[in-house]
Amino acid sequence: WMVSIAVFLSGASNDLVGKLVGVWFPISTFVAIGLEHSVANLFIMPAAMLLKANLTWGNIMFRNVIPVLLGNAVAGAFVVAASYSYQFGRLGGNTPAEKLEKYEQKTVASKIEVTSRLPAH
């Protein structure tokens, strides 16, 4: 789920520095605590086999790739999606109609504020 957070933070930023910082911390944490990533393992495990490591295709698939893939999928889908749904969506009680109403209220309030600052002619 750390990789999912990195992708989301990168997409949420508008400038390059924000994107780099948004990706750097989750990925650094991911690597530092030794989590597994299914796509990375699809490269590392066959490379280890080429270097004569004591691995079989069965070990790679059933003891690493499949459990890691399932773990990544579950954590990415439920931890990241549920947290954002709680923050911005239905799990947090924010329905699309409520969000639209809040947006319209902010828009009207900002228009009133801007118009009140304009000089009178």
- How far apart (Å, rounded) are the C-alpha atoms in residues 37 and 95? 34
pLDDT at residue 51, as a whole number: 92
Confidence band (pLDDT; 50, 70, 90) for 32? confident
Amino acid at 52: K
pLDDT tens string 56-97? 989 888 988 888 888 878 887 888 788 878 877 777 776 777
Summarize the chain as % helix, strand, coil (round to 5): 80, 0, 20
Q: Which two tokens stand for residue 77?
A: 């889908």
